[in-house]
Amino acid sequence: MASRKTTVPLLILLLSLFLKFLMVEALTINSNDIDLNKACIEEERKALLEFKHGLYDPSGRLSSWIGSDCCKWTGVDCNNRTGNVVKVDLRDRGFFLLGGEISGSLLDLKHLTYLDLSLNDFQGIPIPNFLGSFERFRYLNLSNARFGGMIPPHLGNLSQLRYLDLFGGGDYPMRVSNLNWLSGLSSLKYLDLGFSGEIPKWIGERMPSLEHLRLRGNMFTGDIPEQLCWLSDLHILDLALNNLSGFIPQCLGNLTALSFVTLLDRNFDDPRIHEYYSERMELVVKGQDMEFDRYCQL
């Protein structure tokens, strides 16, 4: 009898302890969940939906862009701790082309550092000026996306930018009226763009971090500026398929980081210059014959 009387409260006590334990467990799991995978911010989710709404997406590439957690959507990456969208990568990887309009709602993604829209088909619409307002951009790739018209000088405001790829190609070469706007991009490591005119001397002076310079397939005229020799981290230099003249600066041979060089490919009609350049090439890429063969079609 006595033992039964004490058993019941003991059971209740144990049960309540167990329930408490369960609750604590549940709470910890929940807060862990939040820490590991901070949910998408509602305002940014709306901005992405509006962006999607403006796009033409015949193959349904953005069909995962539904539901409340935009951090799980295809091509969207968020900061783990804050839940802010930091990356939108919609590079086309298999002919599921996006087109249409790029909505200004993107500006609500205040923490965006990375945007890749390359290899899509925007059918000649111009690059919107507002892309120059993303103060945190470090990576912008609009190459081969068939944008039309001029590159907006507003992109020169992207002072944090490390990678800028505006290679036009094909039917929609992207053009700029001058390159002065570029001179504010002093942190650039990678630059690829279309232009006609002379290669600005200040590229060598004002972009000391440049590792990759690709001005292929444009209408550049005039000399290769000696100032390019100031770029001590330059690995890749590609000036092929332009209309350059003059001589290659001797000093390019002194750039120790330079491993891939393509200066020729119909740049020069004069066979003597061709020979001279071939000689310089050997000097520049000493010991790197394999890469030389692949990247430099003489």
Ligand X SMILES: *[C@@H]1O[C@H](CO)[C@@H](O)[C@H](O)[C@H]1NC(C)=O
* Cβ-based nearer residue to ligand X, 190 or 277: 190
- Does position 22 interact with ligand X (CB under 6 A)? The reply is no
* Cβ-based nearer residue to ligand X, 91 or 274: 91
Rounded Cα gap, residues 46 and 25, in angstroms: 34
- Does position 143 interact with ligand X (CB under 6 A)? The reply is yes
- Does position 77 interact with ligand X (CB under 6 A)? The reply is yes
Q: Are 112 and 137 in contact (CB under 8 A)?
A: yes
Contact map string, positions 246 to 285, toward ligand X, x by CB under 6 A: ----xx-xx-------------------------------
Neighbour tally for 66: CB within 10 Å: 10
**Count helices and strands in the chain by DSSP H and E runs:** 5, 14
- Does position 144 interact with ligand X (CB under 6 A)? The reply is yes
CA atoms within 13 A on the CB side of 114: 13
Q: Which amino acid makes up residue 210?
A: L
- Does position 86 interact with ligand X (CB under 6 A)? The reply is yes
* Cβ-based nearer residue to ligand X, 50 or 198: 198
* Cβ-based nearer residue to ligand X, 25 or 33: 33
- Does position 118 interact with ligand X (CB under 6 A)? The reply is yes
Which residue, 94, 142, 100, is CA-closest to 122? Answer: 100
Rounded Cα gap, residues 101 and 122, in angstroms: 8
Contact map string, positions 190 to 229, toward ligand X, x by CB under 6 A: x----------------------------x-x--------
Helix (H, G, I), strand (E, B) or coil at 48: helix
- Does position 156 interact with ligand X (CB under 6 A)? The reply is yes
The CA–CA distances, whole Å, from 189 to 17, 66, 207 equal: 60, 36, 8
**219-222, strands of its sheet edge to edge:** 196-198, 219-222, 243-244
Among 103, 105, 141, 218, binds ligand X (CB under 6 A): 141
* Cβ-based nearer residue to ligand X, 105 or 118: 118
Size of the site for ligand X (CB under 6 A): 27
Rounded Cα gap, residues 144 and 262, in angstroms: 20
- Does position 91 interact with ligand X (CB under 6 A)? The reply is yes
- Does position 182 interact with ligand X (CB under 6 A)? The reply is no
Give the nearest distance from C-beta 107 to ligand X in angstroms: 12
* Cβ-based nearer residue to ligand X, 46 or 286: 286
Rounded Cα gap, residues 117 and 140, in angstroms: 8
* Cβ-based nearer residue to ligand X, 50 or 211: 211
Give the residue carrying structure tokens 């907006």.
Answer: 152
Please name every residue paired with 89 in a beta bridge, in sequence order, or none if there are none: 116
| Site of interaction with ligand X (CB under 6 A) | 77, 79-80, 86, 91, 118-119, 132, 141, 143-144, 153-154, 156-157, 163, 165, 181, 190, 219, 221, 243, 245, 250-251, 253-254
